[in-house]
């Protein structure tokens, strides 16, 4: 069972994926979700006007998508 606080983080990651933005968090709860397999850390490299930039961010795993979408169906 996922807590409301964990669902809030999953929601932020889900919305970031939809809008094409990055979800970044260093919180203990986000790290726990990575350990549980609901989030994964991704490193992306992009060329910007300042040169090459490396961005570390979190995305939902397949399990994270399932759990988040299942919680929306219950509401």
Rg, C-alpha atoms of the chain:
13
DSSP 10-73: HHHHHHHHHHT--B----HHHHHHHHHTSEEEEEEEEEETTEEEEEEEEEE-HHHHHHHHHHHH
Checking if the pLDDT of 1 tops 90, the result is no
Checking if the pLDDT of 70 tops 70, the result is yes
Render pLDDT for 5-50 as a digit per residue (tens, 0 to 9): 999 999 999 999 999 999 999 999 999 999 999 999 999 999 989 9
The set of residues, in sequence order, having a beta carbon less than 8 Å from that of 36 and lying 6+ positions away, is none
Residue in the block written with tokens 């399990």: 63
Render pLDDT for 45-64 as a digit per residue (tens, 0 to 9): 999 899 999 999 999 999 99
């Amino acid at each position: 069972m996922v807590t409301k606080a964990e669902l809030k983080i999953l929601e932020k990651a889900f919305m970031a994926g939809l809008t094409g933005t990055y979800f970044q968090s260093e919180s203990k709860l986000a790290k726990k979700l990575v350990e549980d397999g609901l989030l994964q850390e991704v490193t992306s490299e992009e060329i910007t006007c300042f040169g090459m930039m490396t961005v570390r961010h979190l995305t939902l795993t397949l399990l994270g998508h399932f759990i988040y979408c299942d919680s929306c169906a219950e509401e």
